[in-house]
Amino acid sequence: MRLDKFVTHSTPHSRSEVRFLLRDKRLQVNGEPVRNAGLILTENDQVTLDGTPLTLRGQRYIMLNKPVGVISATEDGHHQTVMDLLQTEDLRDLHIAGRLDIDTTGLVLITDDGQWAHRIKSPGRHEKRYRVITARPIPEDATNRFAAGILLRGEEDAPTLPARLQCLGGCEALVWLQEGRYHQVKRMFAAIGNHVESLHREAVAGIELDPALAPGEWRHLTVAEIAVGLPQAAPQATHLAG
């Protein structure tokens, strides 16, 4: 691995900042100052920054309970983002694995493991469960209509994949989706003549939102939770500082 890539993956510094670290002789390899950002490191080389040994950061997997009014984005000039809630300086390379609307609450998964995020989001592979409160009582035939697939306005050529609907009585229900179309739950209920008043995501791919997390709080995934998005055994998760 190149020295500059190693440093960017083990510290908050960008690749352009690495050049200044080298210029100021703050980076050393095996106790000696170096100037070549493209130096190829071997597994036996020890890199230090200001005398502190550097080690590669492991991949990070986070669940967050998104409140109303927070957007699922890495940055925004007008609204608070889920990244703002992490309260850590090292947000580099973190991405959202499945976004929620600004008025939707619940489980958001955040990671810097792109392959894991892709598997979690792949349509048909992992279900997402939502708790819904509607403006009017949910009709008895809604369960069968959701299971058959709904034709959404503007997408009449392709019905939704079969979705499970469990009515909890009156205006409340649980919905399991296999895909993630734009405003899908809201549009499905609109298609059967109802309106979603409240939408909360409880689970993704078997990863349940931790009930101990208040809105705006987050924690790292357990090894078992990470394993849901892995083809084989789960790796050791590492934590963000802070």
For the chain, domain boundaries: 3-53, 61-122+210-227, 128-204
Fold of 61-122+210-227: Alpha-Beta Plaits (3.30.70)
Identify the CATH assignment for 128-204 out of 3.30.70.1560, 3.50.50.60, 3.40.50.10420, 3.30.2320.80: 3.30.70.1560
- Residue 103: pLDDT over 80: yes
- Residue scoring higher pLDDT (99 or 238): 99
Tokens (6 digits) for 68: 């109303």
- Residue 230: pLDDT over 90: no
This prediction has a pTM of 0.76
- Residue 80: pLDDT over 90: yes
**What pLDDT score was predicted for residue 227?**
87
**What pLDDT score was predicted for residue 109?**
96
Buried b (16+ CB within 10 A) or exposed e, 64-81: bbbeeebbbeeeeeeeeb
- Give me the residues paired with residue 33 across strands: 28
Fold of 3-53: 3.10.290
Q: Which residues carry out catalysis?
A: 101
- Residue scoring higher pLDDT (119 or 109): 109
Q: Do domains 61-122+210-227 and 128-204 have the same CATH topology?
A: yes
